[in-house]
Each structure stands twice: as structure tokens, then as C-alpha cells.
Structure 1
């Protein structure tokens, strides 16, 4: 009986080891196909939990060895090597976190100044996250998020009906009636999917910080090609301009944020004569140069970039070159643009970080302020895991950049 239990224990530990190793591998391996993207995105974000899991398995293996459940042999050597690999992979983001955070801090201070938070309202600073990473929040969620967002006033309203397609927006307001700075939010989804309900946890969090969040909609490809999407974004901005007072928005203090495809639209909207001044732009992993993106597809290419771009623009750079030029935020760079915060994942194989870095350099060239932050272990859409490592780091600097831009 004892032998049977020992064998069962060995098999169970072996199975758990394989699970831990399989998940840990996706911390460094980018997804080759779209179906595997959730693994590639999620594994780095929960890597501290994976590290704890793998360490627990190591303790079990050590205990079994101590109990002489098995003897040192080739299989045991294989188990030790696999354990070492799993532990090392799951520890990698944590080992890099301090250096990455220091680089991010240096980037924001270089652009905004070392005292960029000086003179901000103390109550606003008190609401911000005190640290760029709180390990326990990975398990329990962002600290006090449910309590902080209690009472957030949400309303969904239509703002346009182009070509018979009703476009709506979600508006999130702080619990107390007042007049607030605002953040316009544009969802991603390869220009083909998504809704204003995307990123609702983020919208509620930002509203609890003292902002009105306008999460807007646009028509999707391939049924509608560019420039329809940016036209819809501009329609939404005009609606905000007309109804700002009604929804407690200070129109002189508005920023815009986008994710992926939404970032491309957000940058175009902010950089190309918006209907009212946009005070700041926040770009999460947005496409920058669509012509270059078509010519130099990443490896691997989980979303089939060329297929996605043809669906969005209705052709190739050879057949519709002007549309590719107009749709590329890099071509909208000029002096006197609003400050930009650009956050990209180093493991991203949908929009590679090098494009965000190049955009930051181009923005700075004529004197604009641009903060570029690269998170080495992060994949595309890292903030889908809202309490994950990358999202916590991005949120820490996003709320500070936003406060600097809209409350000073």
C-alpha cells in the first residue's frame, strides 16, 4: 500500500511539474497563433503565482526524495532540470522588474521633470497606487478596487448613426456630482471587434480617481474601411464637445487613451486638429507605421498582420498607399503636439516595441514631450489581466502622467 501511494504521489507531482513548466514556457515564448495568445499574454502577468506554484512542486519533490519515494536516477535528474527551468522562467519577470521600473521612472522624469507631481492636489495623490507592484494584488485584484469604484455613475448613450449603424459610448463619472477632467478611451481589437464595454475595470478605476471617462465606439472593418473609423472618433469628440457640461466634463482638461488599434485612432485624433484641445495622449501598444508594419511582419505573426491591414485599409501599400500614409500616426508628427505616454511590451509580436520607441524619438525631435516605457516580459494586450505585473506598472505611470497632464 505504501508503495502504491508513493507511486501515485510521484505521478501527481510529475503531472503538476509538467503543468507548471508548460505555463512557465509562455512567459518567454510568444504565441505562434491567435488561439494561443491568451497563454502568451497571461503567463507573464501571473508569473509570481507560477513561481509559487513551481516552488511548491520543488518542495514536494524534495519531500518525496527525503522519504525515499524514488532514488536518484536519470528520471530524477530530468525532474530536477525541469524544475529548475520552470522556476527560472517564472522568476524572470520579477528579476527584471526593478530595472524596468527604474528605467520607466527615469523616462518619465526626463520628459516631465523630477518634480512633475509637485503641486498636485494631495487628495489626488492619496488615491494613486503607492507602489508600481503589489504582489498580493495579483491574487486578490487591485487593492480596494471594488470599494473605490462603488458609486461610479455609468450611463450608455448613442452619439451617432452613420450609415444606419448606431454608435454609442459609455460615460463613467465619479460618485460625487462635480466638474472633472476627462479621459476619452478607445478600445482595440484589430479594428474589427470590440465595444465601449471593453476595459470597464480600468474605466471605473480612473473614474474613481476623479475623472470622467468617455469610452467611445466606431464602425468596424472589414465592412468599413479607413478613414471611416477616425471619422467616427471625431464624431464622438464633437459630441463630447457639445455635451461636456451636461456630463460634468471640464473641456479644457481632456486626455485620450487607446489600446492597440484604438491607440492608432487616438493618436490620429489628438495629433490632427481635434475639435477641442487634447491635453495628453496615452498609447498602449498602438500601431505607428502601417506601411512598415505591412512590409516587415513580426515572427511569429499571430494575427496575420497583412490580412488584418488589408481588411482595415481595403488594400495593400501598393494599391492604396495614401490610405496607409494617412492611417500612420508617425506621419502626423509635427511641433506643438500634446505630451504622449507610450507603453509597449517587449515580447509583443503584434505591434513590436521598436515602433513605439521610434515614434517617441520622432515626437521629441520637434520638441514634443514623449515618455516611452518598454516592459520586457509583456505581450500585446498585457493589461487584459488588470491586476497583472505589467498592468500594475503601466497603471502606476498612467495615473501619474494623467494627473500631471490634467490637474496641474
Structure 2
């Protein structure tokens, strides 16, 4: 026991030395399961699957910031053809979570013919907004630059996220060609052709929104302190005729789609296709759990097949 404690202590020192920032591990599929089990005793955790037609490549460095490497995991069909791609952003309140939490979804979508990528990005305890947005945009550019390696059709890329990742996905998709967020050190753009926002807010300051300290930590201050940043970080502020077709998959909890209906009104005005799929009686973070996981996969695949094919 003494040796084990010593090993754990030394490991924590090594991790701290490697990262030089705090890591929040509170948001996990298991923590979601434990939280929701009392109200939904029929649920179970979704388990990873390994498909024979899917090639998995993990811990690929897509960018380096000083001594900090950022990685992505790739899940690609083995068939030698160009496929639509899905760039997947995990949730966790911009503070917690990691790319491995999206492995099961990526495996499932890859088995259906989509080259799928789960992305590591800098969280709020390491770097404030817009660092995470720029990170994911760099990942998109990396995927495009290496499209042949990953069997990717660069004209068919979707950005998808869950919860805070959904907020980020909507912002990334609604800022195609926006000079504020563009990484100019590569010929490839970070533009995407579809958005899938799964229970992510569209506006930080909105009658339906209840964002507070967690958002303020990421955005570098409260709304009273940084009103322009709260507005800039909201996809609703950027939605226009350049925003791609968008799918919203939501729980029935209104606060997790704050601004959605206003965004849809703008999309409709510009003739841009959108869909809303609401999963009744589901908790937030339903995507980690059966029976809602398969429904989430089905809605996503149907939408992207319609948009891309």
C-alpha cells in the first residue's frame, strides 16, 4: 500500500510538471451515469465498439504551441475512397472532459462511412477564450492538409459538439471566413459545410440562458466585465448567409439551447436548411447513455447523409 501511494504521488508530480496547469476530471461518462441513475434507473453506459471496417489512429499531434502538443484521434473507414468527415468536440463546461469521451460516437460514425476525429483542445484552466476555438480550427486545417491520409473529402466536413462542445461547434461553423478566428499559417481554411450542435447554447446572454461562473471562467470575466466577449463568443452573433446547414439535437431542458430559435429564424431568412430533434424526457449529457445514444447517432447520420449525399 505504501509503495502504491508513493507511485501515485510521483505520478501526480510528473503530470503536473508535464502540464503546468490544473486538470479538471469531474466531467466523465461515469459521473454522468451516477448522477442520472436515480431519476432514470433504466439507463446504462454506452460501451466502445471496435469495427473491422474502421482503422483507429490515436494521439496524432495536429499542432504545437510552444512546448504544448495538441492531439486528435482518427477513426477512418478502411475503404480507399474519399469520405465526409466529422470533427467532434467534447463537452465539460469548457473546463473539463477530454477527447476519449467521444470515442464511442466516433467509432459508430466511422462504421457508417464518415472519417471521424475527436479533438483535444485547451480548456479554461489552461487558456481562456478564444484559444479553444483556434485550436479546433487548427485541427480542421490539419485534417484538410492531410486529407488523403485520412480518406477525407475536404468539401464535406461537419463540425459536431456536445454541450459546451456544441456551443463551440456552432461558433466555429458560424465563423467560416471570419478574420477574427482564422489561422493564416496554412493554405487550408477552417471552413466547414455542416454543424451538429448537441445541447449546446447559441447565446451566452439571452432570456433562455443561465450561464454564470463556468462561462465567465472561460470567457475571462462576467458579462458585466466582458460584455463584448460574451457576445463575440455566441454563435447567434455571427449567424448569417455564410452559416452552413445545422442540426440541433436537444434534451428538453430549455437552457441548453438558449438562442436556438433565434438562430433558426436567421437561417430561414437566408434559405439555409436546419433541423431540430428533441429527445423527450432525456437528461443533459444523454449521449453517454442508453437508450438515447443510438437515437443521437441516427439523427446525425440521417442529417449528414442528406446534406452531403
TM-score by length of 2: 0.78
Q: C-alpha displacement at 1:347, in angstroms?
A: 3.7
> What does residue 280 of structure 1 align with?
194
Structure 1: which 5+ residue stretches go unaligned? Answer: 1-34, 50-137, 298-304
Structure 2: which 5+ residue stretches go unaligned? Answer: 1-29, 178-188
Q: Secondary structure at the match of 1:291?
A: coil
Partners of 1:290 and 1:324 within 8 A in 2: yes
Deviating beyond 4 angstroms after TM superposition, the runs of 4 or more aligned structure 1 residues are 42-46
| CA distance 1:359–1:247, shift in 2 (3 Å) | same
* Structure 1 position 187 matched with structure 2 position 90: yes
> What does residue 373 of structure 1 align with?
277
Equivalent position to 1:308, from 208, 214, 228: 214
Q: Distance in 2 between matches of 1:43 and 1:354?
A: 27
Larger mean Cα displacement after TM superposition, 228-237 or 362-371: 362-371
Q: Secondary structure at the match of 1:376?
A: coil
Partners of 2:174 and 2:244 within 8 A in 1: yes
Q: Secondary structure at the match of 2:264?
A: helix
> What does residue 133 of structure 2 align with?
230
- Structure of larger gyration radius: 1
| CA distance 1:354–1:46, shift in 2 (3 Å) | farther
* Structure 1 position 269 matched with structure 2 position 190: no
Q: Distance in 2 between matches of 1:285 and 1:296?
A: 12
1:14-71, CA deviations, whole angstroms, 9 ceiling, x for partnerless residues? xxxxxxxxxxxxxxxxxxxxx9854554567664x7xxxxxxxxxxxxxxxxxxxxxx
Larger mean Cα displacement after TM superposition, 256-265 or 359-368: 359-368
Q: Distance in 2 between matches of 1:253 and 1:41?
A: 36
Partners of 1:340 and 1:370 within 8 A in 2: yes
Bigger RCO of structures 1 and 2 (CA < 8 A, at least 6 apart): 1
Equivalent position to 1:168, from 52, 58, 71: 71
Equivalent position to 1:403, from 277, 301, 305: 305
Q: Secondary structure at the match of 1:337?
A: coil
Partners of 2:72 and 2:118 within 8 A in 1: yes
| CA distance 1:46–1:178, shift in 2 (3 Å) | farther
Q: C-alpha displacement at 1:269, in angstroms?
A: 1.5
Report how many residues are paired: 268
> What does residue 361 of structure 1 align with?
265
Q: Distance in 1 between matches of 2:67 and 2:270?
A: 42
Q: Secondary structure at the match of 1:290?
A: coil
Q: C-alpha displacement at 1:360, in angstroms?
A: 2.5
CA RMSD, Structure 1 to Structure 2 (Å)? 2.6
| CA distance 1:362–1:41, shift in 2 (3 Å) | farther
Q: Distance in 1 between matches of 2:145 and 2:118?
A: 16
More strand as a share of residues: 2
Q: Distance in 1 between matches of 2:92 and 2:217?
A: 13
Q: Secondary structure at the match of 1:153?
A: strand
Q: Secondary structure at the match of 1:183?
A: strand
> What does residue 152 of structure 1 align with?
54
